[in-house]
Structure 1
Amino acid sequence: MRCSLYAVALAACGQRALAAFGLTSTSSRFKVDTDAGLVFEVNRANGDITSLKYNGVEYQGTGKASAINSGLGSSTVTGETVNGYVKITVKAGSLPLTHYFVAKPKEAIIYMATYITGEIDPGELRWLARLRTSELPTGVHGNVGDTRGCTAFEGKDTFKCPNGETRCKMYTSDRFIDDNVHGVSGPKASVWMIMPGVAYETSAGGPFMRDINSQTGDSDQELYWYMNSGHVRTEPWRFGLQGPYAMAFTQPGAKPSENLDTSFFSGLNIQGYVPSTGRGSVSGTATGVPNQFETVLHWHNTQAQYWTKASNGTYKSPLMKPGSYTMNLYKGEFLVSTDSVTVTAGQTVQKDIASKEVETPVIWRIGNFDGQPFELRNGDKIERMHPSDVRMGPWGGAYTVGQSTAKDFPMALWSKQGGTVTVNFSLSQAQVKAHVLRIGTTLSFKGGRPSVKIGSWTGSDPGAPKLIDSRGITRGAYRGYGEVYTYNVPASAFKAGRNTLTLGVYGSGDASWLSANYIVDALELQE
């Protein structure tokens, strides 16, 4: 049997499919044979996937079906063959939603797209494949979302294991800008979510948004793609077509390419689909970001969002829907410039953008103003474990300028956990004058913001930042609005010789780890 490129990458080419490509049906099911080893079935009453057989092995979970959210309920489900592709359309009966399943000959892939015209209760929109843990025991990022043998201790989604390690499905997440393919694996196969091209264009949250990718339970291995949720989301939902995206089956560990061609959707009458001919792009130079940081560009309006990374000072955007966009430039994840641009179908707009960040001489700086806490203590762990995890270093403590390193400064402070942080530094007599103290944060919870004291001087309360009504750091999130606090410290606060900055938290809360807190990006005392 001669194999196509995708059959080689996404199926066991040497194994014969059980039947020819096509769609068959009964009174209760649509059955699709991809002729690439994958056969799946869709419930005609509600659009749930009830069977996922790959090379003769059943991977669909034994409890709940695979579906949008936890199932759409009573729906109108139709199946047809269009231009040589199988297309199944699910029109939800009580929700503003239409979901599509599409199969292409000789590919072990279920292509999907989801069209919405309003928010879906309970405030999230996700594709959730419930697969068999017995066949696919390894989740995204290994065991960080494996709750087997562990006990919930914070809500119903964060778990403590007998060895003191912690697990949470949120710990499986990655930044949208980096998350084009993620999957779960077993000894006979891997199953992947693929978000190619502009799959995220109608999601919310921007390039640094992160959401659940998998959760490993006793019976089900859950594989997700979150399109919209309230998990530390910083902007409203967008409506329209989510995707196209796909779920692919491969041999164990054979990760598929993110460059999945979905252009054939243009001939399938998919509601909301905009082909490449109806799009435009933006290109130009992006300058002023130091070489050691990623240069990220981000375009967004209320209908769509896009992003890319510049290389050697130049960039080209993905193909975008026509319209006017805010254009952001980031040093890593730290916003350094904002502009606007209008995109026209069939055209590439030239737009240069430069960082507006002004480098100010400093007496000392801890960390980097890059919108990320990773260089600080516990910053290398926070995406994959709870702050109480036994593998975490201590919180609070002291930092001495000229002796300590960034790893000695904790990446977060709590109003009821870990104590304050002190920064000890020395000034010459000539430096005893007014200075500016600048503190960058990445995420706040329950109104947490810095309290600062130097000598006899205490900084005023800057007021609570804009509320994000979602747990953050305890579920592995570090990115919010990214507030920067600036304090004009008078000369009377300083003295020649040793000085101490005491850094704490304004805010409160009803539990140790869920009290007011904030995540530190960097801080500096300017000359």
Structure 2
Amino acid sequence: MSESVQNAVGRRAFVVGGAVAAGGAVLAGPLARTASAAAFGWSDDGSQYVVDTGANLVVRISKTTGDLTSLVYRGTEYQGYGGMNSHVESGLGTSTVTIAQSGSTVLVSVGHGTLRHYYAVRSGENNVYLWTYKADASVSATRYIVRVRPGLFLNDEPDSYTYAPTTIEASDVFRKSDGQTRSKHYARLRVADYDHVGWSTGTVGLYLVRSNHEKASGGPFYRSLLRHQSADGGGLYEILYYGENQTEDQRFGLQGPYVLAFTDGGAPSSALYPAALTTPWADGLGISGYVPAGGRGRVAGVGITGRNTAFTYTVSLANAAAQYWGQARASDGFFSVPGMLPGTYTLTVHKGELAVYSTSVTVTAGGTTTLNTLAIPSSNDPGNASAIWRIGDWDGTPRGFKNAELMTYAHPSDVRAASWTGNVVVGGGTETSSFPCYLWKDVNSGIVVHFRLTAAQAAAAHTLRIGVTTAYANGRPQITVNDTWTSAVPSPPAQPSTRSLTVGSYRGNNHTFTYSVPASAWLTDTGAYNTLRISVASGSGTTSFLSAGTSIDAIDLLA
């Protein structure tokens, strides 16, 4: 957590992921204290269903649209801004809405065409459990947004634009007077990095705890908007499928539960987090597509060999119906991924975010599929190849390159960004930190890398590799060596078609470009520097930071 964020927490601040506001506050969730059962229940006021948790939360849901129209916690209304409610996508419109109570649970069911959405409230809990079932593409249901009244929480972080009056891109990226940029897209985090997103005043916390994303798309490294705040109000998001930077088709079925949680200022109970939450109380509620714990299975791996222990390894499992992931243990590569729907999956081992191994695995209901030690072949990791020089690490990310960390929460034009131009000299130890993480045709195409070769090295042909993590507008690298030899323009690999580099994401499809450089291209003077010019080729894109571009993973010249 940055110093500025630490200073904000404990006043009126936001909390994302595992960060906790100061104050030692009481947690909310399945472990919360139970209030008087007599206060728990629901009523019908004519236009809305009113559900009282019997604790400190009263929820109202429209009988016409299924919108969440009111969230009153400890007597304060938190829901809504600009005349808008909290709902699926931008609101479903006229829907069939019903309510039923089963013991200590009240369930509100919303039907709109083939889509079903559910709100569950439990006696004594200051939580609302939500599920969304999307059967097909007939309804554009891609998110749930919790709209929060303005002025209740402070947020001047990357995903806020309260103090950023100047629009610099589309209608969703803004610049403050001090030159810093703000956008709801600038969440900093991958899906695997957070459990919840929200705000805290120190005495009241409002959070959205994400689901396990088994029906979402993009895997553990996907980045998307999580939250926004402006002078008009704030929003918390559960993204079910978002049309930006997608590398997979959308999945259909039941997504959830994700949990709207109020607390006394602290983080939500960890019992609500996707890795821990169980909902046996929902098994008999009739939720469409619901699969109880007994209908799910687990995959466990004894270990993974062939790892570079300087990197984190993640195991993902995916098919057309579902996706899951888990982190491999640093000591031996052991992993366990529970709660999976039955089926056959592609299991992929990622070094950082780079796929280095894959196999097929079948999951059965109620069973554990145990895998023997997985062995990553040395040739599967490009970092194992012998290189004359290398810039960056082969880990599927631009980590370590100039401006790489900043670009997950700022626009490339941000005042905090170091110059995107400037050439690089191999051998001084700053090759990676001085090479820009992104290249654009209209900004810094033509960056030059200077390097020396020995006589033996200069007498031979060599392969040069450039790894990329994504591209915008078909941007791809073309190289020129010593201004005498130029490569062909490579074909563009499949990449997301939407904005990426300017909205906080380098995540696309990792791809390695290879160039066979003949011996005749090298300088024979061993004291002279060879030059490698890297340009961005593409006829697409517009100008500046929206011209064709690409994100760099690693560059090396093989021995």
- For Structure 1 versus Structure 2, the TM-score category normalised by the shorter chain is over 0.9
Which residue does 1:237 correspond to in 2? 250
Residue 168 (structure 1) aligned with residue 183 (structure 2): yes
Select which of 370, 377, 395 maps to 2:395: 370
Structure 1 distance, partners of 2:32, 2:304, is: 44
Structure 2 distance, partners of 1:428, 1:121, is: 63
Identity of aligned residues (%): 38
The one-character-per-residue Cα deviations of 1:446-465 (angstroms, maximum 9, x if unpaired) are 00000111122111111122
Select which of 527, 536, 539 maps to 1:505: 536
Which residue does 2:557 correspond to in 1? 525
User: Shift in Å at residue 374 of structure 1?
Assistant: 2.1
Residue 88 (structure 1) aligned with residue 108 (structure 2): yes
Between stretches 484-493 and 251-260, larger displacement belongs to: 251-260
> Deviation above 4 Å: which 4+ runs of structure 1?
11-19
Counting only pairs closer than 5 Å after superposition, residues 120-519 of structure 1 correspond to structure 2 as 122=140, 125-138=142-155, 142-172=157-187, 174-186=189-201, 188-196=203-211, 199-257=212-270, 258=273, 259-284=276-301, 285-311=303-329, 312=331, 313-351=333-371, 352-358=373-379, 359-405=384-430, 406-432=432-458, 433-455=460-482, 456-496=484-524, 497=526, 498-508=529-539, 509-519=541-551
Q: Is the 8 A contact 2:69 2:86 kept in 1?
A: yes
User: Shift in Å at residue 219 of structure 1?
Assistant: 2.2
Which residue does 1:98 correspond to in 2? 116
User: Shift in Å at residue 91 of structure 1?
Assistant: 0.5
User: Shift in Å at residue 225 of structure 1?
Assistant: 0.9
Structure 1 distance, partners of 2:427, 2:176, is: 39
The one-character-per-residue Cα deviations of 1:69-102 (angstroms, maximum 9, x if unpaired) are 111100011111013201000001xx42100000
User: Shift in Å at residue 56 of structure 1?
Assistant: 1.0
User: Shift in Å at residue 353 of structure 1?
Assistant: 2.4
User: Shift in Å at residue 264 of structure 1?
Assistant: 2.0
Amino acid across the alignment from 1:44: K
Q: Is the 8 A contact 2:158 2:181 kept in 1?
A: no
Amino acid across the alignment from 1:131: V
Q: SS at 2:338's partner residue?
A: coil
State the number of aligned residues. 514
The one-character-per-residue Cα deviations of 1:137-189 (angstroms, maximum 9, x if unpaired) are 337xx343334442222111111222211111110252112222121233542
Amino acid across the alignment from 1:435: H
TM-score (norm 2): 0.88
TM-score (norm 1): 0.94
Which residue does 1:3 correspond to in 2? none
Between stretches 304-313 and 186-195, larger displacement belongs to: 186-195
Q: SS at 1:10's partner residue?
A: coil
User: Shift in Å at residue 17 of structure 1?
Assistant: 7.8
User: Shift in Å at residue 13 of structure 1?
Assistant: 7.3
Between stretches 355-364 and 480-489, larger displacement belongs to: 355-364
Structure 1 distance, partners of 2:556, 2:43, is: 66
Q: Is the 8 A contact 2:202 2:266 kept in 1?
A: no
Between stretches 238-247 and 248-257, larger displacement belongs to: 248-257
Amino acid across the alignment from 1:132: R
Structure 2 distance, partners of 1:56, 1:275, is: 35
Amino acid across the alignment from 1:480: G
Q: Is the 8 A contact 1:461 1:506 kept in 2?
A: yes
User: Shift in Å at residue 444 of structure 1?
Assistant: 0.4
Q: Is the 8 A contact 1:130 1:221 kept in 2?
A: yes
